[in-house]
Structure 1
Amino acid sequence: MPARPHLAAAPRALLASLALLGACQSNPAQTDETTATTPAATDAAAKPDSTGKKYLAQPLVKDIYTADPSAHFFNGRIYIYPSHDIETGMPENDNGDHFAMRDYHILSMDSVGGKVTDHGVALDIKDIPWAGRQLWAPDAAFKNGTYYLYFPVKDKQDIFRIGVATSKSPTGPFKAEPKPMEGSLSIDPAVFTDTDGQTYMYMGGIWGGQLQRWRTGKYDGSKPKEQEPAASEPSVGPRVARLGADMKQFAEPVREVKILDKEGKVLLSGDNNRRFFEGAWMHKYQDKYYLTYSTGDTHFLAYATGTSPYGPFTYQGTFMNPVQGWTTHHSIVEVKGKWYIFYHDTQLSDKTWLRNVKVTELKRGADGSLALINP
């Protein structure tokens, strides 16, 4: 989802309408492979830019706008699968129609802080047979000699589904399957392969991501502003399903992930500082599963831990304070013994719909707790 001004204190109705604008966006299509020469800053101290503002890290690329980075370490190299923000010139509205992303660029680098290569367009919306509009935050996976690109896009009926495209190269080009994944829904696919080789997809985002419209198990767009639970009701959790051997379909029904407080109760819908909003990511550390996610209208990255990839997960705290801009969306990856978080803000444009991806080191306490980051 795109970044917007911090409005946590604003009335909830206003926040709801503004958040529908929040969705992963893009910038004009670029087909040539290019190399950026600006290394990522990963120093502990924030550094000022030309305006005097201080940022913990600098944008990985500056010639296109990128957001929602899903990072992976494939064959000794870091690959980043972001959404690609563009200036559409369309007026803003509650449906987020001006976030009309059309393609994906894939970035790569040998090491954090090194040169970043933009490999050009890896998948274009015109090459997805079932797609209607709005290519939002993707993710990727590798298995059995094939790379898989998972993407959310609205179908011809304006309902978000998850699609999959394949390639023999981590940078594409990717060829999309003719239909969306059966049983898929909403946005923000995040794919996690466990140490036993089983692979799972996490997905979902409320408000503009439509997840609240699936509360009954079937899509219902008849009363979109009334379908989010009341503040005193249990919050809507992300969804998860194990992928089949072909990595193109689910091997089981999609189920809801429960995020609990320390007393074992599901977080409430009105608990905006802790409840799930969008952008789930899964990683494993010392046999513990870490579900990390964005709280959306309060702009935190939070984490919860569990003993199973299905959950339930117990809320542990915030690990990143709000970035500049409305949305925050991330991924976490281990590279040569160190852990890094890839995220975005609006340093380059100062516009909520034109973001830039960044990276910084993720540090832990002796007990595995995630250290708080001030971006």
Structure 2
Amino acid sequence: MTMHKTTQVNVDAMIEDLRALVETESPSRDLDALAASAKVVAAVIESRLGGRAVLVESEAGPHVHWSGGGDPRVLILGHHDTVFPLGTLERRPFRVADGHVTGPGVFDMLGGLVQAVHGLASLEDRSGVEILITADEEVGSHSSRALIEERALACGAVLVFEGAADGGALKTGRKGCGTFRVSIAGRASHAGLEPAAGVNALIEAAHQVLDITALGRPEIGTTVTPTVASAGTLDNVVPAEATVVVDVRVESAGEKERIESAFAALAPHLDGARIAVTGAVGRPPMPESAAAGLFAVAQRLLPGLEGKAVGGGSDGNFTAALGVPTLDGLGAVGGGAHADHEYLVIEAMAERAQLVAGLVTEIQHR
């Protein structure tokens, strides 16, 4: 089977819908902005697909859910929150030039949402299709995870519209990822008069950073990277408190368990210091086996299409961990996620929308 080249999508209309989404800024945790963004997402879905897009309220902002009716067969999954603060659009406005679209969120992942909607709009039969666009993916999906898992299990197949990997490849595997915060309590004292009377939380933090870094096993895909640290109040006071934030990525469930146990077992080096650890590997690994069947279909539809395992996490990690077939990276072709040079390649938009249509049709007729 190859992709139907007769599937028609209007790239100019896609760009205009993308403009509407990008120009409604949607930083994570900004509830007012996310409420406005959700309404625009819902309006785009309804205008192209008909029916009603339901806003599912949560403490993180509204998620958007749409159903084409019938028995659920496939879940189109994405998010409308972005990492950019309000005001970014003024500094970096939506722009179409030289074959690219630029602006905050075009690649991660508003472009993918538009391609998915327009791909579905080219189909006469949308029965069995659900769309879920969440409001908190960039900050851990804590409010949306249960809903994501519920709809994934109900549908039995998940297509994730995060941006493509390098070169337009689909994402066939992802590492599990999480964040740990190590809080250290010491005791303050005068740094000049009686430094020995204190318990220096900064020195303890230095010991902990070395211990934590040693947990990494990059040869099997486990990276443990201290990313943020803070300590102290004044230059003549022995620090009484310090914190270290650590990014963790793992490729297997066994490594997830090892890392979480190791963080729980961290012990102080200095007499009188105390340590408290919070966090976990919140997104389980997405094994390549979860994508194998759907990726084979995608390759038949679009010969030459490549797949790559990547280090970043997505909501596809949750669905794959449930055993639900999950294919990721179906969104925009481009790059610069979370950066000022973020861009989307216009030439690839139609082909990616057609790929959506082909995948959905294949799943519907299984």
TM range (shorter): under 0.3
TM-score of the superposed pair, with normalisation by structure 2: 0.27
Higher strand share: 1
TM-score of the superposed pair, with normalisation by structure 1: 0.27
Higher helix share: 2
